[in-house]
Amino acid sequence: MSKRLENKRALVTGGSRGIGAAIVRRLASEGADVAFTYLSNEEQANQVVQTTRALGVKSLAIHTDSSDATAVVAAVERTVSELGGIDILINNAGIAVVAPLDEFRLEDFDRTLSVNVRAVFVAVQAAARHMKEGGRIINIGSCNAERMPFVGGAVYAMSKSALVGLVKGLARDLGARGITINNVQPGPVDTDMNPSGSDFAKTLIPLMALPRYASGDEIASLVAYLASPESGFMTGASLTIDGGFTA
């Protein structure tokens, strides 16, 4: 593995499991020092720290509730303090509440927006204050921003669609400073929250051109490209990696 991210400092929100943990490992394997946030499982977070430190980089787990804007800012500031700065921000933390319209609770609506949209803006705003030219911001959206084929996913789809507009606007704010911002929009990915062998997966796979789930490492490979110097002319984009789910 090349060390194209050597001497870079990264923060990954929601980095203790699933896609987030795969991203943390990939960035570390390419030489970046990586801080990441987690919400509930300290043991799992510590395992990710140990794995990344074994690659010879600094690693830091920060307990953070992404629905708390103050906590999100504090995570950015701690990253800057302990890693010596921030060059890469990956907004991965997110939640998905699926329920029919008549049963969808307003508190779940509000929490979905606070985690999936507001926390992204708050983290970008806080990180951008410290980023220099060449900074990279990547949001993990969803292919459901473009296609929602099942009942009950309207609010989740809306929250991920909001990132498309947000990243276009923020590309204008950040471009003059030499900072890029893009979305990655995964399709179904094999994680503990959405395993490829579940009954739910059996309903999604027939909708795809490639009849399988992605691995977290496949998503992380695209994120690593967007975090690297090679992606310097790409900003304001939403890149779908979904096995043809939206084809």
Contacts of 16 (CB under 8 A, 6+ apart): 36, 38, 39, 41, 44, 45, 48, 61
SS (H, E, C) 43-100: HHHHHHHHHHHCCCCCEEEEECCCCCHHHHHHHHHHHHHHHCCCCEEEECCCCCCCCC
pLDDT, residue 104, reads 98
By annotation, the residues acting in catalysis are 156
User: Burial letters for 207-222: b for 16+ Cβ neighbours within 10 Å, e otherwise?
Assistant: bbeeeebbebebbbeb
- CB 94, CB 14: distance < 8 Å: yes
Ordered by start, the domain boundaries in the chain are 9-241
CATH 3.40.50.2020 applies to domain 9-241: no
Residue 12 pLDDT exceeds 80:
yes
pLDDT at 192: 87
Q: What is the pLDDT of residue 32?
A: 98
The CA distance from 35 to 13, in Å, is 8
**Proportion of the chain above pLDDT 90, given as a percent:** 98
Residues 194-242 have pLDDT tens digits of: 999 999 999 999 999 999 999 999 999 999 999 999 999 999 999 999 9
Residue given tokens 């009849």 in the structure block = 211
Sign of the four-CA dihedral 70, 76, 80, 83 = positive
The reported pLDDT for the residue numbered 82 is 98
Nearest to 27, CA basis, from 247, 227, 169:
227
The whole-number pLDDT of residue 88 equals 98
SS3 state at 149: coil
pLDDT value at 43 more than 70: yes
SS3 content of the chain, % helix, strand, coil (to 5): 45, 15, 40
Letter for the amino acid at 40? Answer: S
pTM for this predicted structure: 0.96
Q: Return the pLDDT at 61.
A: 98
Rounded CA separation 44/26 (Å): 17
What is the DSSP secondary structure assignment for residue 215, as one 8-state letter?
Answer: P
| Among 138, 129, 52, 24, residue whose Cα is nearest residue 85 | 129
Flag whether pLDDT at 1 surpasses 70. Answer: no
- Express as a percent the part of the chain with pLDDT over 70: 100
Residue 2's pLDDT is: 73
**For 55-107, what is each residue's pLDDT tens digit?**
999 999 999 999 999 999 999 999 999 999 999 999 999 999 999 999 999 99
Q: Which of 36, 72, 88, 77 is nearest to 223 (CA)?
A: 88
Tell me the pLDDT of the chain averaged across its residues. 97
Question: How confident is the model at residue 110, as a pLDDT?
Answer: 98
